[in-house]
Amino acid sequence: MAAQTQTIPLGVLQAEPDSLALPPISRKKQATVLLSAFVTIALTIGYNQCFGVFQEYYLSPSQDILVPAPADQASPPTALLAFVGTLCYGLTWAGGLFVNPIISRIEHGKWAPTTPSTRLWRRRVVRLLRPRTITISGVLLMSLGFALASLSSSIWQLLLTQGFLVGLGMSLLYFPLLAPAPEYFNNHRATAMGFILAGGGAGGLIFSPVIRALLSSVGGRWTLRIYALFNLVAGLPIAWAVPRSRFTGISGAEGPERRNTHVSRALATKATLIFSVIAAFLQAAGAQLPLSFIPSYTVILGLTASTGANYLAVSNAINAVSRVVTGYAGDRLGRQNTLVLTLLLAATSVFAFWLSSVLAFSPSSSLSLWLAFIVLYSCSAGGYYALFPALIAEVFGIRQYAAVNALILFVRGLGTMFGSPVGGQLLGSSDMGTGAYASIAYWDGALLMGATACCIGVRWADGKEKGWRWIA
């Protein structure tokens, strides 16, 4: 008879310490996990959140990489250039569906040679397979992608290098360090994950003005080479510090316990998971749109590209603080409640401020509404990122975290690759001024409203299954 996989909530893990409790962990180890995961997020998500600086540069007359220059074309390939960034961002998340099972098998020795007849080359390869091998390979791929991008001269080459190679490398670094992180925290899990995910805002805050300054001073090719070297120096120590899953310390009747890395058929048909997956797709498609177009829309308002990069940095800074505060609020007011509220505020800010800025008759009014949008959207948009990892553990159980998280991030990757390119197609001609962005604002607001409705669906389905609680 096939063994059945049962979802075991966190409370059960705590209630049965002799059989299922995770091994104890020191404060020092928690601090190490916090720091390494924070820097990982900065190097991956932080870079992805400031790709708009590169996008604006590639579309400008001063760029020195693409031939012919997009600015000289009658119809600039905005959507295709946006896809360079969203391909990288999407692969960063989508790769978890494949990376997590590999890491789990490596940690539990599932690929270890067990017979003397195993070929020598295979035994040597298996001995080299460690989580550090995966993360270090990711850093090397990221740096290689940036270095090869500096030699590119067409958009398809950027898609292969700055899009595909960098995104694949980021996925290999991101998941081995982030997947086990929630296992190291209990009562303050949302706060800890909020701090870790604030690395995305912190990275964007630093990288946006620095990349813009480098593009202005040394050009695109040397900017990419310098960033490749920086990524190598900053990434290798973090790749070496990858933590092990705490489930490797648990032994059951059939040997060491292993995290679930695939969603079962029974779990896949639950309303909570279906709503969560749809919400993840819609939120990812909509959340990245403003970040992709902050620099270019700022230029349309008559300001400089450097100002646009600074606005993007400010957005990332507010977003970083918001993730920590939202995580703290979620631990006290209920993670599902806080998530729904922040998503609703983000969607409302798009219609109330960005769309109003687009439709405003006065340039001064457009700028004021745009600044108000950047502040309010950045405050509210960080809520989903800070809360959904802890929410997965709460709704589906800590043992299902790796499987559900990988699935949702895979779907988020698909959503990211969908939202911005469609937004680029919706962008009107440059002679329309701010009106060129009207369709993008409508599109973004509709996506975020849809995500809000699905998160309300998760709240309803979870309450129906476990019993209604006001604080949830």
Residues 136 and 238: their CA atoms lie apart, in Å, by 9
Q: Please report the pLDDT score of residue 119 as a whole number.
A: 59
Q: How many CB atoms lie within 10 A of CB 369?
A: 20
Cis peptide leading into 243, omega within 30 of 0? no
Query: How many Cα atoms occupy the beta-carbon half-sphere of 236 within 13 Å?
Result: 7
Please answer whether residues 204 and 50 qualify as being in contact, where contact means their C-beta atoms are separated by less than 8 angstroms: yes
CA angle at residue 434 from 431 to 440, to 5 degrees?
A: 110
Q: Please report the pLDDT score of residue 330 as a whole number.
A: 82
Q: Please report the pLDDT score of residue 466 as a whole number.
A: 83
CA angle at residue 454 from 452 to 456, to 5 degrees?
A: 70
Alpha carbon separation from 111 to 108, 128, 172 (Å, rounded): 8, 11, 18
Alpha carbon separation from 159 to 71, 112, 149 (Å, rounded): 19, 36, 9
Q: How many CB atoms lie within 10 A of CB 11?
A: 10
Residues of the chain with pLDDT under 50: 1-20, 253-256
Residues 260 and 406: their CA atoms lie apart, in Å, by 11
Please answer whether residues 85 and 424 qualify as being in contact, where contact means their C-beta atoms are separated by less than 8 angstroms: no
Q: Please report the pLDDT score of residue 393 as a whole number.
A: 79
Of residues 331, 93, 289, 344, the one with CA closest to residue 194? 331
What distance lies between CA 20 and its chain's CA centroid?
Answer: 31
β-pair partners for 255: 252
- Tokens at 118, concatenated: 């195993």
Q: Please report the pLDDT score of residue 4 as a whole number.
A: 39
Amino acid type, 348: T
β-pair partners for 251: 256
Residues 389 and 277: their CA atoms lie apart, in Å, by 13
Alpha carbon separation from 348 to 318, 345, 377, 450 (Å, rounded): 18, 5, 9, 12
Tokens 């959904």 found at: 388
Alpha carbon separation from 292 to 297, 299, 394, 452 (Å, rounded): 9, 13, 32, 21
Burial 254-285 (b: 16+ CB within 10 A, else e): eeebbbbbebeeebeebebbebbbbbbbbbbb
- Tokens at 439, concatenated: 């369709």
Residues 471 and 119: their CA atoms lie apart, in Å, by 57
User: Whole-prediction pTM value?
Assistant: 0.76
